[in-house]
Structure 1
């Protein structure tokens, strides 16, 4: 255990011999740059450090920080919580300045190289790289050839807007570059989140350590993106293109879109019309000026690149050539990630910039070169072998981990196609301190740094994302392999002023009360998010009422009423036969198993857990639209699904929590969301689903002859949370007409059918794209629904010779009109029909 003795955190810390250690020097003393932070951690004491660890985990979870990992036996991503080590990696300003110079030089090099390979290709004529690396590479996109020369803006400004660089520190204390990420680099959002978390749980330490701020990097990035958009007189329309919630770094996509103020879109949200890119919004088509992409090159345009891609936009490349849309980073930049280029970067730097690399490469050899192959195979155990393409499924390996048949198979692969591989010398990477319950222990680390263009060339984020392995035996340190993360603190020589994304006073901001357009997919997701919320809450209330009634059997409660509410469970979950089957008598005698399954088994389609899971999935598609409190409620719902349900008490506890969280979500969406287009679709989904649920519930009661059962009407009042009001009005007397009136026709009851229709008609008025004196399909469907409803009232329903038949037919008509209204809204706002062009003469 940790004690309060000076530097006891380092008592069990044992750096490796012959390896540079970030925390301690060769004599085993804490380095000067770490002394203040180590002392600050020590003064907190073991108990408080545990509390801060819990606080950090809580903040990360509440913020929804995750990283999706992929299993070899499953195509679906598995969501993994983001792991952050509390002890930062520290670097002094003098040390950082050298890295900064090297990274800015590397950005200039990559930008020059990118321009050249898609224009004059001097690098080939001067034989600075083997031509086959370029010509045989699937990442060299011939469709992008000449794109930089024809673009006026890119001819004068950096083509490469940003890139990231992965580095390690060697045993000599110097940094070595391992690789670059260019086309859609990730990590900056996670780095920002790490910084926010540490500054919140160690506010005094963070302030007193005088750490350089990272917000200035994002301010420069946003300014560069706005300049690249090339729009004057208005704010440019910038979107962040994501592959979707299944992508490994989807959290970061949603996080950055919100932080930078851009609309998060997927490929299906965009369309090309007349060589211009438009976002398909519920307001109509909105032209896009710039796409900040997180989709890889080959998937960006299925018309000219990967034909089966569903992530990109058909016709996008032609729109780029026409100068009608800008892309960051440019399509085609993935060639710079080809690992076969790594051995040639020092020569390329001399060729393009006339100087040596400031940051050396880790010694790397391309096996397509006979001399390189011969040198490597003399001592293959010194190298890690990787494929030249990042898309290759072959995992990196070392000869130290290969033996027998595996080794022979790998040697055969190299012999068969040596051009497919590079060999990178295994550098003994520096060790870094990891905070554990027993103080510090060493781990391996890779540092990712971030560079963006600015007014004066390139600018490096004064910080970074450090990935750390908790095992010293791990040579491969990646997030996919379970690495933790650290924040990188660059210490300043003076107190840092606060940096934010707030616009300087010198820049004028036009007041606006309208956001950019809502993509049709987002509106659709919000619509179904609300429907799943209502559906889950309605089911939870029915489950709870059923459980209460089952527990009252011993008190001689009317059994038929209990059977009816259990039948209703099967009816609303569509889980037939259930309590409506031939063996229903056995289930009535022992209903717990069926209730438990329908409430907690996520694989039962239509059950409560299934609908909650669908709700959570829908929320992830629009997480950039949800408030922090709504996200926390969603996390609570996910936690509820993990709860073990073994008894009636635990079932009731589970249902109470679900209802509370769902009610909180409804309240938050009503009180905290601005009344813009997205909110009206959310509200429409809620009102439509609540109407449908009420009809289904009433249909079930009538079907099982609960119409004549007083207790069944009491169940209806409880399920719809109106029993207190009803008892106050009618002194507790249960009457069929009065119950149906308060549930169907009473507009003061926010759960009545009449109230839902009022709200539906109100929302329809505020939907976008409405013109006066014109009636739209959804308006006609709503009018038909309203007319059908208003044709009846309680006196008419009960004044007929066969009221049950009359009510049954009427409810079915209402249900039909609700479906028509939902379909009309979907057809007009959530579906875009692309213009079709016939190719050929139609004769095959």
Structure 2
């Protein structure tokens, strides 16, 4: 169907559907005659009744929720930004309950079949012995992990999680395009889609009687509990992630929070005494089950992939010993080999005695001569896929290739046929998306998720619907900029509300959970605190310097020169020469401070480091805090747009940035539980604030100035540390250096004083877990006590005295020099005690790749 359907729909839908026309093939919303399908009528009538203005408002509300929750998908190879906001369309995909039951039954059968294939290929290998599966299809595939043969089976359904990418052909038949068995991603994004759309369209969602998703995640939790090798005890389950650079890192953190698991990276886990342990600040915690979100080969650099920096050295042997369970099992990536698709009909008959209920998109493995001949004869109308992404080849639509490129591909296939699969280029069905000028058709793929239940598999109702970003574009992928949808499986009556929150309450309140803070998490929280405080300090000084430039005082006062030195001496490797009379280089120096790409301590680089740190521990921060972090990210983007020509515009940006950074500090101070994560965040903040105040005192007060300049300098310094109003309320007769030092150094009631920071530090350090059981102070405690005592014993009158010969406050200078030496030492002691780095593991032997490159 290619004609507009306006004439075939009822008049009340004409506004929304005007001009909607699908491309050739099946359309999910409309029949071939252009009529709205019956199960779409209520949705379309409701959306049309809202009017274009209200629909746009709700679409923007959905985008705001996505942005506020920092729902992102990392794009590999994007030089401008690796993290993109999740794209969510307002119109869900609708599936009738009866049709879904048929799809669900077919998917359950397919999951059971692939589970049996997995058990056989890593066990007796009868399918190879009987000639059902060619041995080269298995043993040449990188997903087959030889060390995982004959691993213990902790559950009859070793394949705990499975996902299938579904497409509908022109006749309306559902087909499986590809199988996902390695570590299927997308279920967390599907849940987030549901939460956003149900908030934006609450009454419409409620009245549509949509099947809920919580039961799927409850079953997932039960499935993982069953895998635990320790029967009768509450298992300790972790979610193993490759880290923030992974494309689906948001989902890793999201699911860890939702399911109540600890989010870990490979460096957080260690193998001792043939068990896996979580290394925390409190010591080692046993791990019973690992929900992995990385490819199996990367999970163990000792026995699997020697160049992996992501895995846990020795993990494979612990699994082999039955002391830890991994879901999905190591080696399950073999099932993602597209060459298996052509064998599944026969495998279903052999293993299940049944025909496949849901067919696959036809595929031909070129490792079989007859199938290869077919592929080469029909090359121009097929999609060519690699058996595994590691061979350095992406799938291609041959119909879009030139004759020369097609011939080159033909030669590649002939040279190494076992590395390639040809698959039918099926025209996928279309589904409406809401554009600014109404509904538009886009090709769609539905990823459905299944989890092993006690006696069968359970499917998530619906799944993650993805649509192409452009009209007539057949590639449907988030990496290619695809758009996502919620998927509504329509029930005949309202479903009972179910939530995992009540079930996870005990896990959250369990007394031993609070100590499960890996050193990596503590490290990132510590540096998040430091970077946030450093950025605020830079921004406050920068705002004042820009005010001098704006008012024209920059060339008329030594105060400006001193403040500029305060900024550049602290923050740049090559500070600005404040004694120079030539100010031509001022704009360039200010741009270096604001956004110098080669300056590691510029304001934008500091903000980038802050964002990198918090995104590494996103599961530790609340959604409200993430809204503020997103504001900081937006301000970072604005600062990068500042040029020397509009330098003064950066002053307004400083106001916004300081407000956002202060909000971040306030939320973490008031809303975070006083656990280890928060404590390290605040330790970083206190150390950095102490350093910033100390350096500010060095550049503004050590060298004596004229009375007029000293008053202006002191006023500026108090403004930067946000203590000017406090000083004026306390001392009404003007600014005196001893009183200023008393407020900024000695007063423990002033949250911007040195004494206040060190008092907090003392309490934090005392609360940290200690390895020294003898009762004597360790290096960290000793340094903290010495530094705090130095400040408490300071005589502000002596510090304020000026040496008449040098014109400098030498006692203050010596005091600050000692302070600036001890603080980095304190930070180093903290790092060596709690943020230990492990030696990079190495394979003692070299394993030859099974796939020729």
- The TM-score by the shorter chain falls in which range? over 0.9
Asked if 1:427 is matched to 2:426, the reply is: yes
Q: Distance in 2 between matches of 1:50 and 1:838?
A: 56
1:710 aligns to what? 711
Shift of 1:594: 3.1
Cα distance in 2 between the residues matched to 1:7 and 1:291: 52
The SS at the match of 2:816 is: helix
User: 1:571: which partner in 2?
Assistant: 569
Whether the aligned pair in 2 keeps the contact of 1:303 and 1:315 (CA below 8 Å) is yes
Distance 1:35 1:824, change over 3 A: same
* Residues 1:266 and 1:509: Cα distance change in structure 2 (over 3 Å): closer
1:675-731 Cα deviation digits (max 9, x unpaired): 111111111111111111111112222565558622211111111111111112221
| Cα pair 1:387 1:420 within 8 Å, conserved | yes
Q: Which runs of 5+ in 1 are unaligned?
A: none
Q: Give 1:49's aligned residue.
A: 55
Aligned to 2:527: 528
Structure 2: unaligned runs, 5 residues or longer: 1-5, 846-853
Q: Note the C-alpha offset of 1:800.
A: 8.5
What residue in structure 2 maps to residue 25 of structure 1? Answer: 31
Cα distance in 2 for residues equivalent to 1:510 and 1:712: 51
Q: Which of 585, 596, 601 is the aligned partner of 2:581?
A: 585
Question: Could you state the TM-score of these two structures normalised by the residue count of structure 1?
Answer: 0.94
| Structure 2 residue matching 1:165: 3-state secondary structure | strand
Show the 5 A alignment for 1:550-699.
550-553=549-552, 559-580=557-578, 584-587=580-583, 591-643=586-638, 644-645=641-642, 647=646, 649-699=648-698
Per-residue deviation, 1:549: 2.7
* Equivalent residue number for residue 249 of structure 1: 248
1:14 aligns with 2:25: no
Kindly state the Cα deviation for residue 784 of structure 1 after the two structures are TM-superposed.
2.2
Matched position secondary structure for 1:386: strand
Instruction: State the 1:375 CA deviation.
Output: 2.0
**Deviation of 1:390 (Å):** 2.9
Deviation at 1:610, TM superposition (A): 1.2
Contact 2:564 2:576 in 1 (8 A): no
Conservation of the 8 A alpha-carbon contact between 1:677 and 1:768? no
Residue 815 to residue 141, structure 1, CA distance change in 2 (3 Å): same
Q: Residue 384 of structure 2: SS of its match in structure 1?
A: strand
Task: Give the equivalent residue in structure 2 for 1:131.
Answer: 135
Q: Is the 8 A contact 2:565 2:575 kept in 1?
A: no
CA distance in 1, matches of 2:815, 2:834: 29
**2:75 aligns to what SS in structure 1?**
strand
- Give CA-to-partner distance per residue, 1:392-435, whole Å, 9 cap, x none: 32121132122233122111101111111111111221121121
Partner residue, 1:487: 486
Aligned to 1:163: 162
Tell me how far 1:230 sits from its aligned partner. 3.9
The equivalences for 1:103-252 within 5 A come to: 103-147=107-151, 150-151=152-153, 153-154=154-155, 157-232=156-231, 234-252=233-251
* Structure 2 CA distance for partners of 1:655 and 1:508, relative to 1, 3 Å: closer
- Offset of 1:240 from its aligned partner? 0.8
Distance 1:505 1:192 in 2: 17
- CA–CA distance in 1 between the matches of 2:598 and 2:453? 51
Distance in 2 between residues matched to 1:822 and 1:707, nearest whole Å = 37
| Deviation of the 1:233 alpha carbon | 5.3
Matches within 5 A, 1:366-405: 366-405=365-404
Counterpart Cα distance in 1 of 2:299 and 2:512:
33
Preserved CA contact (<8 Å) 2:526 2:685: yes
Taking the aligned partners of 1:335 and 1:70, their CA distance within structure 2 comes to 24
Q: Of 820, 824, 827, which residue of structure 2 is paired with 1:822?
A: 827
* Alignment-derived partner of residue 779 in structure 1: 781
Partner of 2:850: none
Does the residue aligned with 1:307 lie in a helix, a strand or coil? coil
Q: Is the 8 A contact 1:242 1:294 kept in 2?
A: yes
Q: Is the 8 A contact 1:168 1:429 kept in 2?
A: yes
**Bigger shift: residues 629-638 or 797-806:** 797-806
TM-score (norm 2): 0.93
Deviations 1:763-793 (A, max 9, x none): 1121124658342221111122233334431
Count of equivalent residues: 827
Contact 1:23 1:31 in 2 (8 A): yes
User: 2:790 is matched with which residue?
Assistant: 788
Instruction: Provide the rounded CA distance (Å) in 2 between the counterparts of 1:521 and 1:570.
Output: 31
> Structure 2 vs 1, CA of residues 735 and 552 (structure 1 numbering), >3 Å: closer, same or farther?
farther
Alpha-carbon separation, structure 2, partners of 1:838 and 1:348? 37
Secondary structure at the counterpart of residue 409 of structure 1: helix
For residue 722 of structure 1, what is the aligned residue in structure 2?
723
Report the Cα offset of residue 602 of structure 1: 4.9
- Against the structure 1 CA distance between its residues 834 and 769, is the aligned structure 2 distance closer, same or farther, given a 3 Å change threshold? farther
Q: Give CA deviations for 1:278-304 in whole Å, capped at 9, x if unaligned.
A: 111111111111111111011110001
CA displacement at 1:797 relative to structure 2:
3.0
Match of residue 799, structure 2, among 789, 797, 800:
797
RMSD between superposed Cα atoms in Å:
2.6
Question: What SS does the corresponding residue of 1:578 show, helix, strand or coil?
Answer: coil
C-alpha separation in 1, matches of 2:689 and 2:171: 68
